[in-house]
Chain A
Amino acid sequence: MVVAAVVVTQLVFVARGYWSDHKEFAFQMFPESSTWRAEVVRVTTDGRRVPVETPWSGYRWEELVPDTGLSYPSIRRHAVAGLDNQLAFLESALDWVADHTPHDHETRYLEARVTSWHNADPPRVSVMRSSVRESSE
């Protein structure tokens, strides 16, 4: 019974991996060869677009987002555990940074212009935005 439950649970995780962004326990023998890069900027209240590579208000992007392959987004790199996983992390990270930088009074929102290459497909460009920060309104 225990063995059957484990096998069924694992199959559920594998099936879930086909529609979920993060594919926990959906082990895949051959990963995607997809790559991505993004220009992430802070859009300030006066309309300036400042790259996050430039420290601001005592914050550094690579210290705020040290994991999940997001520390240096402008460098093209492999999409860890697939593009869906990686870009979902980037989208969440934009919101997290927008919400956890209380000393920053000039940023209205963060924006990422993402270029992604799904396996050998042609590049695709998309734009992600964080929520608008309350402290800037």
Chain B
Amino acid sequence: MTAVPLRAQRSVGAVTAAVDELLGRPVSMRSLALLRVLAGPVVLLHLQPFLADSLDGRIYSDAFYEPYAGWYPEVPEPVYTGFLWLAALAAVTMSLGLLTRAATATTFAIVTYNLFLSTTHFHNNRAYLVIVLGLLTVAPCGRELSLDALRRRRRGRPQPALSAPAWPL
């Protein structure tokens, strides 16, 4: 191997190491915890028209809609309506920080499923909401500003670290 490719390989390695160090550096997750608290009401606002329709016995397939793909699963109306209300409940518990990881994952899964049911459901603000929920699902954002943290404190259990790798941010 000649000197030039070797030097290039080393500099690429140095850049990769620097990026790894930057993204892996432990930082406070408080901002994501606050985002989690605020995301719940946003999810409720997002679901409100779907929930209102469900109370009138209407769902997306009663009006013009366009599936992205024929293979995408469409559940029966009662199950779909149940999913929507489960997502609303999960959004509330996500904000409160009760069973935070499960609540956030449930909210993310149902909101994402609903978004991709039809091309007509897609708006950029909803896409951004899905991205935020995905981020909150993978980040440890329930360790503070949450009922989970309060319960843990009251039971005298050890508090987990409040910082985590920075990459979700």
Chain A residues near B (Cβ < 8 Å): 2-3, 22, 24-25, 27, 63-68, 70, 81, 89, 92-93, 96-97
Interface centre among A64, A67, A81 (most CB of B within 10 A): A67
Closest residue of A by beta carbon distance from B63: A66
What is the count of residue pairs linking A and B with beta-carbon distances less than 8 angstroms? 35
A117 CA / B119 CA spacing, docked (Å): 23
Take A2-B167, A25-B127 as given contacts and tell me if A64 and B63 are in contact as well, using a CB distance cutoff of 8 Å. Answer: yes
Chain A residues whose CB sits within 8 angstroms of the CB of B23 once the complex forms: 3
Interface of B is mostly: loop
Closest residue of B by beta carbon distance from A28: B124
Take A3-B23, A3-B167 as given contacts and tell me if A22 and B63 are in contact as well, using a CB distance cutoff of 8 Å. Answer: no
Chain A residues whose CB sits within 8 angstroms of the CB of B167 once the complex forms: 2-3
Interface size class of B (residues with CB under 8 A): 10 to 19
Give B47-81 as 1s and 0s: 1 = Cβ < 8 Å from A's Cβ atoms.
Answer: 00000000000000001111000000000000000
Structural contact, B119 and A22, CB atoms closer than 8 A: yes
A40 CA / B68 CA spacing, docked (Å): 25
A115 CA / B16 CA spacing, docked (Å): 52
> Does any Cβ of A come within 8 Å of B159's Cβ?
no
A22 CA / B121 CA spacing, docked (Å): 11
A25 CA / B122 CA spacing, docked (Å): 9
Q: Quick one: which of A24, A67, A92 contacts B127, CB cutoff 8 A?
A: A24
Take A22-B119, A89-B119 as given contacts and tell me if A67 and B64 are in contact as well, using a CB distance cutoff of 8 Å. Answer: yes
Structural contact, A92 and B66, CB atoms closer than 8 A: yes
